[in-house]
Amino acid sequence: MLRYLNKCSTGRGAWLLLALTAFALEMVALWFQHVMLLKPCVMCIYERCALFGVMGAGLAGAIAPKTPLRYAALVIWLYSAWEGLRLSYEHTMIQLHPSPFVTCDFAARFPSWLPLDKWLPSVFVASGDCAERVWSFLTLGMPEWLMVIFAAYLLVALLVLIAQAFKPKRQEHFSNVA
């Protein structure tokens, strides 16, 4: 399996699949926001940024999968999946154990060199309450599903990282001499 993952990491298909899954999740988030009219909270916006990180890692890996850029993409993937898991866990704890002393910010804080909320407010402006549970599926809320998703991203990223030590087997061709 690890040899197979190593082989996949040197091809564009797997990296594009990673980017496509993150893009699909971003589209679902925007559908929740603009069609179902669910207001994203600050934690939702940060989790959305982590998904964009996973998508960016997929695109970076797809650009040149046989070069060292693959390793940079893998680092971005690992970091984004870890941060997404951490953020969604924190968000889940806020929802499961609401407290007036533990709240999220009123607005997302982006660095001055990357003001995403100014550049694309329809995607990055928060207006919801982190403690409010507005949607659930199979008894799990949105941040709990994101924990599952980011844990899966992180697990696969760790397996791909480990797989980098396993070189794919060379195909040897034998010809029959009569």
Burial class (CB in 10 A: 0-12, 13-18, 19+), 86: middle
CA–CA dist 175, 178 (Å, integer): 10
CA–CA dist 60, 72 (Å, integer): 8
Q: For 95-139, what is each residue's pLDDT tens digit?
A: 887 777 667 777 777 788 887 777 877 777 777 676 777 777 788
Considering only CA atoms, which of 171, 160, 99, 168 is closest in space to residue 130? Answer: 99
Q: For 28-50, what is each residue's pLDDT tens digit?
A: 988 988 888 888 888 888 899 99
Residue 4 confidence (pLDDT) above 90: no
**pLDDT given for residue 96 in this prediction:** 80
- Give the burial string for 147-165 (b: 16+ CB within 10 Å, else e): bebbbebbeebeebbebee
CATH class belonging to 1-29+38-166: mainly alpha
Q: Is 12 a catalytic residue?
A: no
Query: In which band, very low, low, confident or very high, does the pLDDT at 81 lie, cut at 50, 70 and 90?
Result: very high
Query: In which band, very low, low, confident or very high, does the pLDDT at 177 lie, cut at 50, 70 and 90?
Result: low
Report which of residues 162 and 169 the model is more confident about: 162
Residue 53 confidence (pLDDT) above 90: yes
**pLDDT given for residue 111 in this prediction:** 80
Residue 174 confidence (pLDDT) above 60: no
Q: Are 79 and 53 in contact, with CB atoms under 8 Å apart? A: yes
Query: In which band, very low, low, confident or very high, does the pLDDT at 24 lie, cut at 50, 70 and 90?
Result: very high
Q: Is 48 a catalytic residue?
A: yes
Considering only CA atoms, which of 31, 41, 45, 38 is closest in space to residue 127? Answer: 41
Instruction: Say what the pTM is.
Output: 0.79
Query: In which band, very low, low, confident or very high, does the pLDDT at 8 lie, cut at 50, 70 and 90?
Result: low
Q: Is 44 a catalytic residue?
A: yes
Query: Scanning the structure block, which residue is given the tokens 């988030």?
Result: 29
Q: Is 41 a catalytic residue?
A: yes
Which one from 48, 49, 70, 109 is the annotated catalytic residue?
48
Query: In which band, very low, low, confident or very high, does the pLDDT at 166 lie, cut at 50, 70 and 90?
Result: low
Which one from 8, 12, 41, 49 is the annotated catalytic residue?
41
Q: Is 104 a catalytic residue?
A: yes
